[in-house]
Amino acid sequence: MAKKLYIAASNQHVGKTTCTLGIVEAFREAGERVAYCKPVGQGAVDFKNLQVDKDALLFSTMMHFDLVAKVHSPVILGPGATQAYLDEPEKFTFRDDVKAASEILESEYEMVVYEGTGHPGVGSVVGLSNADVAKMLDAPVILIVEGGVGYTIDRLNLCLSLFREQDVRLAGVIINKVLPEKVEKVEHYVGMKLKEWDIPLLGLIPYDKTLLYPLLDTIRSRIQGKVLANPAGLNNLVEEVVAASLLPKYQFNEETQGLLLVTSSNRLNDSLGRIIELSEREGISNPLAGVVLTGDGVLLDSLDEGFEYANYVFKNNIPIISTPLDTYGTAVQISTMEVKINVQTLGKARRAVELVRNCVDLKKIRW
């Protein structure tokens, strides 16, 4: 019989996919034949004329398996799905679909790792909350929670109640995104509470800002942008955003890179000139990941003919994007983005694997 694990999280965006990647790869490195499944998904993408969860697509790319929608992503709760279910639940076979997928994988592999969705209650409307699915699959749960002390313990207790209600086994807890200077304190106090609850603490993963750097193309989509130059650079990672008005105060150093310049079109030449001057002073060939031209309600269709630094932009393959938003609106949209690991950011996926390998002790899992 195959071993099983269900990876749940206290909230969205706390690192469930990050940790699942690392867990899967750790067991594969140990020689296990491991399968992956996203029983219930919300974020669908098109794949071979079918809808699959975006995380299932990521794992198929990382693990090099042929993605089969009904096996690796059996249920997608897309827009309107829950209302349709509530109107006519008899028309849906969600539970049967999940069971069928699990039977196929568990008959072919030594271990199956199931990745949950959202917080533990997501899916309840169709009878497939994270706790419901883990119980149905008879899979012990690893719960991922964000680092802290009071909030983390409170959130853990709230989330664990759903699994306790279903009498689901708790395999352990991973605390993610812990500020490095707080690792010892969090481990001591949260570990103390978990010991009281008789739940293993599998590890603490430090906050890693590089996993939160967005792709330029993700920003383009967020700000309703149009590419005016160098689309090949849209996979650049953006490490920092600076408005043209703040350039006089911006501190450049030899490590400055991945900079996204936000400027109006009439300040483009002055802003690029300033960046080139500061870069040359620090010995940096090009610190820019891209440039966003704000429009104050107007979307520019092309660059001005008097574009002074065109040679610099094209030589360094710096994408230029126009947006109808003003500078403030652009900054708000970028600052409120949630950055996820996906098939365009495989470098981040490899970093996630490394973090779990170094910080999580899977030998402590309570099967």
Q: What is the pLDDT of residue 1?
A: 84
DSSP bridge partners of 16:
none
Q: What is the pLDDT of residue 231?
A: 94
Residue 31: name the closest of 3, 10, 60 by CA: 3
Domain spans of the chain, in order of start = 3-211+342-364, 214-335
Beta strands 170-178 and 201-206 are: parallel
Q: What gap in Å lies between CA 143 and CA 10, rounded to an integer?
A: 7
Average pLDDT per consecutive 10 residues, the chain (367 residues; last block may be shorter): 96 91 94 97 79 90 92 93 93 97 98 96 96 98 96 96 96 96 97 97 93 91 94 93 86 86 90 90 90 84 77 93 92 84 76 91 94
pTM metric for this prediction? 0.84
What lies within 8 Å, CB to CB, of 27 at 6+ separation is: 34, 111, 113, 362
Phi-psi region of 301 (alpha: psi -120 to 50; beta: other; left: phi over 0): alpha
Q: Please tell me the CATH code under which domain 214-335 is placed.
A: 3.40.1390.20
Residue 201: name the closest of 176, 237, 230, 226 by CA: 176
For tokens 């609850």, name the residue: 197
Q: How far is CA 21 from CA 115, 160, 364, in A?
A: 10, 22, 18
- Of how many residues is the chain composed? 367
Beta strands 111-115 and 75-76 are: unpaired
Amino acid at 315: K
Q: What is the pLDDT of residue 346?
A: 77
Q: What gap in Å lies between CA 286 and CA 256, rounded to an integer?
A: 9
- Token readout for 237 is 């990672």
b/e sequence 52-90, b meaning 16+ C-beta within 10 Å:
bbbbbbbbbebeeeebbbebbbbbbbeeebeeebeeeee
Quote the strand ranges of 54-134, DSSP E. Answer: 75-76, 111-115
What lies within 8 Å, CB to CB, of 249 at 6+ separation is: none
What are the backbone angles phi and psi of residue 180, rounded to the nearest 5°? -50, -40
Question: Is the separation of the CB atoms in 148 and 41 below 8 Å?
Answer: no
3-211+342-364 sits in which CATH class?
A: alpha beta
* Helix, strand, coil shares, percent, the chain, to 5: 45, 20, 35
Q: What gap in Å lies between CA 171 and CA 163, rounded to an integer?
A: 11
For the chain, state the CA radius of gyration: 23
